[in-house]
Amino acid sequence: MTDASISRRPLQVRLATPRGFCAGVDRAIQIVERALEKYGAPVYVRHEIVHNRHVVDRLRNLGAVFVEELDECPTDRPVVFSAHGVPKSVPAEAERRALFYLDATCPLVSKVHVEAERNFSAGRQIVLIGHAGHPEVEGTMGQLPEGAVTLIETPEDAERFEPREASNLAYVTQTTLSLDDTAEIIGVLKRRFPGLPDPHKEDICYATTNRQEAVKRVAEQCDLVLVIGSPNSSNSVRLVEVARRAGARMAQLVDDASVVDWGWFDGVQTVGITAGASAPEPLIEALVAAIAERFDTDVVEDSGARETVTFKLPRVLSES
């Protein structure tokens, strides 16, 4: 179908609120930007600072060099650890090599690390609910000795899990999971192990929770939901899944407006738009503008939770 054939047809656009950057992502990006300002380029970053192609490309253009391991970093330049957190072996290696490093781990991920260590110190076997291979999961598992943490990804994993001592368990979760999927897994574990204690505070972060609740509200009223985010962004992929379950006829993950298939809009009267926690607001604005070029749009802002959380930067970056 050509753009002309759908020109100016009425279309309601519903914007989920909150959407886009969270406090942890904002802090991580600022750490790289401030490091570049203070120390000059290049600044090395272990792993993508956050999972968004546009953010990474912009920082690369400013002088950030993204690497996967510390052995790719010279000893005379700063290195930043990503927002997802790192195993304890990484700062230990940095100190061994006398690297100057800045830790951009989201404080809410660090909270999960502390919770896992506290339970391990109390002699409990740790269950981590999360996705294998995700850097946050690797970072959390890497806080403790090998074999101390058992990863559970699905309800089936939870059914098969055989602990060393059923009465001496604790669980933590990845911060960017689906609320509903995680609740299902925890439900299985609690049915099998009734004494399983909850973390002191919910591990799935406020931003993940707020964005999933917002997309649920929007998806119930939409034929199509577009989620702006990169494919390796866990929280963005979860938003697509949540939108589909909440009733949207179709939900798609898009890096930006340029990859939208306008055929998706066939028969669509209402489209919802949200963005993962690592997607910048200009991408949302560009998508709304691209839709407005093709349709007679009525843009409605959802009334969702107001986020006022901020996290401090490392002191060394605020010193003159």
Task: Kindly report, residue by residue over 243-260, the tens digit of the pLDDT.
Answer: 999 999 999 999 999 999
Mean pLDDT of the chain: 95
Band of residue 4 on the pLDDT scale cut at 50, 70, 90: very low
Q: pLDDT band at 320, cuts 50/70/90?
A: low
Looking only at the bridges linking them, the beta strands covering 169-173 and 149-152 are unpaired
Task: Count the Cβ atoms, other than its own, within 10 Å of residue 307.
Answer: 15
CA 284-285-291 angle, 5° bins: 90
Which residues share a beta bridge with 102?
Answer: 80
Mark residue 106 as left, alpha or beta (left: phi above 0; alpha: psi -120 to 50; beta: remaining).
beta
Work out whether the CA dihedral 77, 68, 237, 210 comes out positive or negative: negative
> Which residue in the list 136, 162, 202, 285 is annotated as catalytic?
136
- Is pLDDT of 224 > 70? yes
**pLDDT bucket at 185, cuts 50 / 70 / 90:** very high
Band (pLDDT 50/70/90 cuts) for residue 6 is very low
Count of other CB atoms within 10 angstroms of residue 156: 11
| Closest CA relative to residue 174, chosen from 147, 190, 152 | 152
Q: What pLDDT is stored for residue 7 in this prediction?
A: 54
pLDDT in tens, 66-79: 999 999 999 999 99
d(CA 293, CA 306): 30
Write the single-letter amino acid at 6: I
Q: Which helix (H) or strand (E) holds 178?
A: none
Residue 202 designated active-site:
no
* CATH code that applies to domain 4-21+206-301: 3.40.1010.20
Tokens coding 87: 């195993």
Length of the chain: 320
Strand partners, 270: 12
Cβ atoms 111, 201 nearer than 8 A = yes
| CATH code 3.40.1010.20 for 107-192 | yes
Residues 228, 272 contacting (CB under 8 angstroms)? no
Write down the pLDDT at residue 319: 73
Instruction: Pinpoint the alpha helices (H) of the chain.
Output: 23-39, 53-62, 89-96, 107-121, 135-141, 155-160, 179-192, 206-219, 234-246, 281-294, 315-318
Rounded CA gap, 314 and 311, in Å? Answer: 10
pLDDT exceeds 80 at position 147: yes
For residue 36, what pLDDT is reported?
Answer: 98
pLDDT band at 274 (very low <50, low <70, confident <90, very high): very high
Mean pLDDT along residues 55-64: 98
CB atoms within 10 A of CB 181: 17
Per the structure block, which two tokens stand in for 256? Answer: 């930006």
Per-residue confidence band for 8, with pLDDT thresholds at 50, 70 and 90: confident
For the chain, give every domain's residue range.
4-21+206-301, 23-106, 107-192
Q: What integer pLDDT is reported at residue 31 of this predicted model?
A: 98
Q: What is the CATH number of domain 23-106?
A: 3.40.50.11270
pTM score of the predicted model: 0.94
Cis preceding-peptide flag for 18 (omega within 30 of 0): yes
CA distance 83 to 159: 32
- Fold equal for 4-21+206-301 and 107-192: yes
